[in-house]
A = this chain, B = another copy of it.
Amino acid sequence: VEKIVEQGILYDFYGELLTPHQRGIYEDAVYGDLSLSEIAEKRGISRQGVYDLIRRCDRALAGYEEKLHLVARFLAVKQKVGELKQLAGLPGGGTPQTMAHIRQLAEEILEEL
């Protein structure tokens, strides 16, 4: 499951850099949840061909992240925004300490961007 989630995030960010042919097969495998044999039959290529293509896509997507780190940057920002939202929803509301903490988190997020 973790692998599928990670594939999904990388595909969400970098999938448009694959060819339409690669995207079609990759989506059948990762989102459509078809088996290699089902995809092979649907596309009229060998099961091995499907397997190789998916592996090549995985490597390409991982390679983009290795170079650009944009998924990592987004996830770091996402986590901090989540913390910030939680702070803003604390019962008792905005004490000066809470507000200072929110400003600090916002500042840290801006530095990531």
Interface of A toward B, CB cutoff 8 Å: 13-14, 16-17, 64, 67-68, 70, 74, 77-78, 81-82, 84-85, 88-89, 93-96, 98-99, 102-103, 106-107, 109-110, 113
Contacts and interface: CB of A to CB of B under 8 A. Distances in A.
A85 B106 contact: yes
A109 B81 contact: yes
Copies of this chain, complex-wide, total: 2
B109 A13 contact: no
Given A67-B16, A113-B74, A81 B106 contact: yes
A90 to B, nearest CB: 9
A99 B110 contact: no
B77 A103 contact: no
Nearest to A100: B88
